[in-house]
Amino acid sequence: MTSEEVAGQVIVGRLQGTDPAVAADLVAELHLAGVMITGGSVASLEQVLALTGGVHEAVAADGRDWPALVSTDNEGGSVQRMSGDIGPWTTFPAFADAGRALEGAVTEGGDATGIVTDAYAGMATELRASGVTVDWAPVADVTVPGQDVTIGSRAAGADPDVVARAVTAALEGFLDGGVLPAVKHFPGHGSLTADSHAALPVQAATDAELRAHDLPPFQAAVAAGVPMVMLGHIDVTAWDHGTPASVSPAAYRVLRDGIGFSGVTVTDSLGMGALNAVGGPGEVAVAALAAGADLLLNPADNYAAHAAVVAALEDGTLDRDSVDAAAGRVIAMMRHQAELADQAGPVGPEDVGSAKEAAAALAAAGER
C-alpha cells in the first residue's frame, strides 16, 4: 500500500448529511476503511441502502477484496441510529433490559441467555440487510447509579458479573448475525462523573479496583472472541495520569498484555471534547496510532486526520511497520466479517423489521 492507502485503511470516516455520493466520494478519495453512520445520515431505508451500497462499491473500486467497514451505533434504547422512529427497523430496548433479563431468570431458576443472544442476532440481521458490517456495541461499562452521568441504561447493570454475561450473550448474537461488534468503552465509563463528549473524565480508582469492578466484562468479551475493543477518552490516574486512555500507550498495554487482547483496537469518536487538550484532528490521529490504536473512529476532520497520518508515516513520526500491522489487523477482521456473513446466509431489505418478536421477548424478560 502507498502511504495514502495505509493511512485510509486505519480511519473510519465521519459523515455529514445523507447524500450517498458524498460518502462514496470520501471513501474513494481517502482510501478509507469505511464510514460511521450517525443519526444525521439516516433518513430512510432506501437512503441508507444507497449510502451503504455506494461505500461498498467505492471500496471494491479501490481494488480491495475485503468488505467495507460500514458502521453505526445501534445499542438499543436511547442510542439507536436505525430504529422504528425513522423507518422499518425494529426498535430495541435498552441494554439494561438484557441485564435485568439475566438477573430475573437466575432468580427464577432459569437462564435468559438465549433471549439476549436472539435479540442481538436479530439486530445484526437487520443491520446487515441495511448494508452495515460493524456495530459499535455492546456497552461493557458497569454503571454506578447516582454517579454515572453518561451511560445509565446503556449498560447492562451495576454488577460486573451480570454485565459480563450480558455482553458475551450479545456478542454471540452479533456474530451469529454476521455483523462485527465492538465492546466499549475500555476501561469503563460507568462510574465517571463527567461526560467525555464535553470534557475529560478522571478515573481515580486504583488498578486493583479497576480489575475488580470495571475490567471483568472486557475480560469476558476477550475470552469470548470479541473482534474489537473501543478505548474511551478517560484519564486513568493509575495508568497514565492526565492522558486519555484512547491516546495512552499504558492503556493499550493493559488491554494487550494484561488482558491478552489480540484483535482490533479502535478509539472512541475523535471529535469529542475530552481530546481538546491533545490537539487538533491531525495531532489526535497521530497520537492515537502512536499509542497503539488500530482504527481511528470519526475524526473531527477526515482530511486533516488523513493528511497528518500520511505525513507522520513519511517523516518517521509513525513507525510504518506498526501502522501496516494495524491495517493488517483491520483487513483480517473484515475478511472474517465476510466469512461470518456467508455462514449467516443472505439477507435483503425485506429482513429489515424481522426482529420485532426477538426484541419484544427481550423487553418482556427485562420487565420480570
C-alpha of 98 from chain center: 18
Residue 237: C-alpha distances to residues 16, 39, 234, 240 (Å):
35, 34, 9, 6
Asked if residue 245 lies in contact with residue 311, where contact means CB atoms within 8 angstroms, the answer is no
- Distance in angstroms (rounded) separating the CA atoms of residues 20 and 41: 9
Active site residues: 197, 268
Residue 28, helix vs strand vs coil: helix
- Structure-derived torsion over alpha carbons of residues 293, 298, 304, 309, reported in degrees to the nearest 10: 20
- Distance in angstroms (rounded) separating the CA atoms of residues 161 and 339: 31
- Distance in angstroms (rounded) separating the CA atoms of residues 214 and 141: 7
For helices 45-61 and 20-30, the axis angle rounded to 10 degrees is: 20
**266: left (phi > 0), else alpha (psi -120 to 50), else beta?**
beta
CA neighbor of 105 nearest in space, from 91, 94, 90, 115: 115
Contacts of 109 (CB under 8 A, 6+ apart): none
Q: How many CA atoms lie within 13 A of 150 on its CB side?
A: 21
Q: Position 193: which residue type?
A: T
Contacts of 311 (CB under 8 A, 6+ apart): 282, 317
- Structure-derived torsion over alpha carbons of residues 144, 138, 277, 329, reported in degrees to the nearest 10: 140
Q: Which residue carries 455482553 as its cell?
A: 167
What is the CB neighbour count within 10 angstroms for residue 365?
21
- Distance in angstroms (rounded) separating the CA atoms of residues 225 and 227: 6
- Distance in angstroms (rounded) separating the CA atoms of residues 128 and 85: 19
